[in-house]
A and B are shown apart, each in its own frame.
Chain A
Amino acid sequence: MAHRVFPREEYLLKGHVACPGCGAAVMLRHVLKALGPNTYLVIPACCTSVIAGPHPRSAFRVPVLHIAFAASAAAASGMIEALEKLGKPANVVVWAGDGGTVDIGLQALSGAAERGHNIIYICYDNEAYMNTGIQKSGSTPHGAWTTTTPSGNPGFKKDLPGIMVSHRVPYVATLSPAYPNDTFAKLRKAASMRGGLKYLHALTPCPPGWRYDPSLTIELSRLAVETGMWVLYEVENGVFRLTGPSRALLEKGKRKPVAEYLKLQGRFRHLSPEDVERIQRMVDENWERIAEMLKEGGEHSSEQG
């Protein structure tokens, strides 16, 4: 009875202008339900700047500051400090695309993390610059077609959650629109933690950009996790933990073949069997690293008794 478990209030109102089946819209709906009305959004140029609809109407039931591309984390830093001086504690949340996060917004994000402002930063990752027509970003996966990588991306997806863990912020976590329980637990934890930047990174399928039928958005989000291409985890004060369905996927045999995820998307249609095998190897190696990390973490905590 999902409608009894999750808040019924809507903060992303019907009549917004995201494309049919937009994964980012599902994710934002869940995020705002989890955070509630005492939330301020800071949004750089991206699809979501447009999703609000034609001015002076806004499909957001929370205040939004639309801000220049490179400045979101800096603007949010100022906003949280001002609200705290005014004695009005609130969730100040950056909601930015992958281009606006892993490329253009990275220095402001790094600075805000270093200064330890009490903000939540959420990157919704549709793996390209979608609003301007599907250009490759630093978050586009290896092999994917975009309009600027017409024969497939020769580069590799930047591990931004990993970069944020290296900043030693108190909380880093990954999200998926297919797993709202996981989303609600993580958002509520992030909102309750003070004294530092909380970084969350969501994989949000995009029908026109990934070239698939819009009805498949949740199915693809789920397959990304079940194949192990997208890992649900959290790192709380430096301690790594798998979450949700990813907890059961350490063993290779438990994961679906990556081909099941790739074959549904036109952006991977040109891949040869060898390309698919290479991507499968990359995913398996990532899971081996995760297993190592969990082992070290386990040994470390048992040493400490």
Chain B
Amino acid sequence: MSRSAGVEKILARPTVGAVLSGGWRAERPVVDASKCKLCGVCWLFCPDAAVEVSEAGVVIDYDFCKGCGICARECPFKAITMVSER
């Protein structure tokens, strides 16, 4: 059975980047790689899935990071600083 064209039309689709939420940011988190121990805590608690951790380091996706500051506060090694966007 094929889905009707009408149903296809009204269904929403999973989309990375439904909005460019990085534009909401007042402060940006900046990682000091010399302090980072790659523990992944910032990745775990980011509400916006904007952090990636790999052997190469922590990368924050500024297109989507909203600048909440949770990562900076929770980092056990104080490796993240919030810097004003202005």
**Are A and B subunits of one complex?**
yes
The answer, yes or no, to whether A273 is at the interface (CB within 8 Å) is no
The answer, yes or no, to whether B20 is at the interface (CB within 8 Å) is yes
Fill in one digit per residue for B30-48: 1 if any A CB lies within 8 Å of its CB, else 0.
Answer: 0000000011110111111
* B49 adjacent to A12 (CB under 8 Å): yes
The answer, yes or no, to whether B6 is at the interface (CB within 8 Å) is no
In residues 143-193 of chain A, which contact B (Cβ within 8 Å)?
177, 180
For A2, what are the chain B residues with a Cβ–Cβ distance below 8 Å? Answer: 39-41, 43-44
* A4 adjacent to B40 (CB under 8 Å): yes
| A58-B13 contact, Cβ under 8 Å, with A1-B39, A15-B21, A216-B73 | yes
| B46 CB to nearest A CB, Å | 8
Which residues of A does B touch, CB under 8 Å?
A: 1-6, 10, 12-23, 25-26, 29, 52-61, 64, 177, 180, 207, 213-219
Which residues of B does A touch, CB under 8 Å?
A: 10-21, 24-25, 38-41, 43-50, 53, 61, 63-64, 66-70, 72-74, 82
Distance A58 CA – B16 CA, assembled complex (angstroms): 8
**From B12, B40, B45, B47, contact of A18 by CB (8 A):** B47
For B10, what are the chain A residues with a Cβ–Cβ distance below 8 Å? Answer: 56
Distance A36 CA – B20 CA, assembled complex (angstroms): 26
For B15, what are the chain A residues with a Cβ–Cβ distance below 8 Å? Answer: 13, 15, 53, 57-59
**B-side interface mostly:** loop
* A14 adjacent to B64 (CB under 8 Å): yes
* A54 adjacent to B18 (CB under 8 Å): yes
Q: For B53, give the chain A residue with the smallest CB separation.
A: A3
For B82, what are the chain A residues with a Cβ–Cβ distance below 8 Å? Answer: 215
For B48, what are the chain A residues with a Cβ–Cβ distance below 8 Å? Answer: 14, 16, 18, 25
* B17 adjacent to A15 (CB under 8 Å): yes
* B17 adjacent to A14 (CB under 8 Å): yes
| A29-B70 contact, Cβ under 8 Å, with A54-B18, A58-B12 | no
* B41 adjacent to A215 (CB under 8 Å): no
* B47 adjacent to A21 (CB under 8 Å): yes
15 contacts between A and B (CB under 8 A): A13-B14, A13-B17, A13-B18, A15-B18, A18-B48, A20-B67, A20-B68, A21-B69, A21-B70, A29-B49, A56-B13, A58-B12, A58-B15, A215-B69, A217-B70
| B39 CB to nearest A CB, Å | 6
**From B13, B38, B68, contact of A57 by CB (8 A):** B13
Q: For A217, give the chain B residue with the smallest CB separation.
A: B70
Distance A10 CA – B16 CA, assembled complex (angstroms): 10
| A29-B47 contact, Cβ under 8 Å, with A3-B40, A214-B68, A215-B68 | yes
For B40, what are the chain A residues with a Cβ–Cβ distance below 8 Å? Answer: 1-5
| B14 CB to nearest A CB, Å | 5
* A17 adjacent to B49 (CB under 8 Å): no
* A20 adjacent to B24 (CB under 8 Å): yes
Point out which of B39, B53, B68 has the most chain A C-beta atoms below 10 A from its C-beta: B68
For A19, what are the chain B residues with a Cβ–Cβ distance below 8 Å? Answer: 66
| A203 CB to nearest B CB, Å | 15
For A17, what are the chain B residues with a Cβ–Cβ distance below 8 Å? Answer: 18-19, 21
Known: A15-B16, A56-B13, A216-B73. 4 other contacts (CB 8 A): A13-B17, A13-B49, A214-B69, A215-B82
Distance A29 CA – B69 CA, assembled complex (angstroms): 17
